[in-house]
């Protein structure tokens, strides 16, 4: 399909977000609100890369992936569930075997980044130099490498 929406589980993000979150996030403009059903749907399955952006964001876990019809046999599934700081993945094989893995994905609270914290580069006097913002703190070596004499 590759993403498909379980009709009974989708409530078009009522109360969560203005318009379905899958429509908001899809990087390829595929997910749409089907006006007849008032539910999310994939309008162009052959342009879906199964990136799972919508699956990961769906608040009711209504979105799943049915693998590409041209090479994926039926019966398997891979489904993520958001947990604190990462995801738990359930992998179901065609033959019924099941694996579960949990991986971290972020070490800091969402929204906590502080873009130029402790940056000391002078915005006027260092503009003509080669150093980037924050490099005196973050490059990891004292001096930015450049062409050595003799090269």
Partner 1 sequence: MALPAVETVECDILVIGGGMSGCGAAFESKYWGEDLKVVIVEKAVIERSGATGEGLSAINCYMGQRYGWNTPEDFVKYVVNDMMGLAREDLVYDVGRHVDSSVHLLEEWGLPVWKKDNGEYERIGRWQIPIHGESIKPVTAEPARKAVGPENIYERISITHLLTDANDSGRIAGAIGFGVRENKIWVFKAKAVIVTCGGASNVFRPRSVNEGIGRTWYSVFATGSAYGLMIPIGTEMTQMEHRFVPTRFKDGYGPVGMWFQYFHAHIENSLGEDYTVTRDSELRKYEPYGSAIPTPTPLRNHQMFLDIKEGKGPMYMRTDLAMQEIAGGDPAKMDKVREEAWEDFLDMTIAQALTWASQNIAPEDTPSEVVLAEPYIMGSHSGEAGAWVSGPEDLAPPEYYWGYNKMTTINGLFAAGDGVGAAPHKFSSGSFTEGRLAAKSAVRFVRDNPGAVTVSGDQIRQLSEAIWAPLETFDKHKGASTAEEINPNYITPKQALVRLQKIMDEYGGGTSTWYTVNQAGLERGIVLIEMLREDLAHQAARSRHELLRSWEVVHRTWTGEAHLRHLLHRKETRWPGYYYRSDYPDLDDQNWRVFVNSRYDAASDKWSLSTKPYINIFK
- 128 makes contact with partner 1 (CB under 8 A): yes
- 127 makes contact with partner 1 (CB under 8 A): yes
Which residue among 53, 58, 62, 63 contacts partner 1 (CB under 8 A)?
A: 53
Largest CA distance in the chain: 73
Question: Within 63-122, which residues bind partner 1 (CB under 8 A)?
Answer: 65, 67-78, 80, 86-87, 89, 91-95, 97, 99, 101, 103-108, 110-116, 119, 121
Which residue among 27, 36, 84, 125 contacts partner 1 (CB under 8 A)?
A: 27
| CB of 79 vs partner 1, minimal distance in Å | 10
* Lookup result for tokens 């609100």: 33
Q: Which two tokens stand for residue 17?
A: 């977000």
72: Cβ–Cβ under 8 A, 6 or more apart, which residues? 66
Which residue among 5, 12, 26, 62 contacts partner 1 (CB under 8 A)?
A: 26
Helices (H), the chain: 21-25, 53-57, 135-138
Contacting range for partner 1; rule: CB under 8 A; set: 9-17, 33-41, 131-139? 131-139
Residues that bind partner 1 (rule: CB under 8 A) add up to a total of 77
| DSSP string of 13-66, one letter each residue | TTTTSSS-HHHHH-TTS-EEEETTTTEEEES-GGG-----HHHHH-TT--EEE-
Query: Cβ closer to partner 1: 71 or 84?
Result: 71
């Amino acid at each position: 399909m590759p993403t498909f929406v379980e009709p009974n589980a989708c409530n078009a993000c009522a109360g969560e977000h203005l318009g379905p979150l899958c429509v908001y996030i899809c990087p390829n403009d595929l997910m749409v609100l089907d006006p007849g059903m008032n539910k999310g749907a994939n309008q162009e399955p052959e342009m879906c890369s199964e990136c799972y952006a919508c699956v990961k964001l769906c608040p009711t876990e209504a979105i799943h992936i049915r693998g590409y019809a041209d090479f994926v046999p039926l019966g398997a599934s891979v489904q993520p569930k958001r947990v604190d700081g990462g995801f738990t993945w359930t992998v179901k094989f065609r033959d019924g075997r099941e694996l579960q893995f949990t991986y971290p994905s972020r070490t800091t609270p969402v929204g906590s980044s502080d873009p130029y914290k402790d940056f000391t580069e002078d915005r006027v006097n260092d503009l003509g130099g080669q150093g980037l913002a924050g490099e005196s703190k973050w490059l990891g070596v004292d001096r930015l490498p450049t062409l050595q004499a003799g090269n």
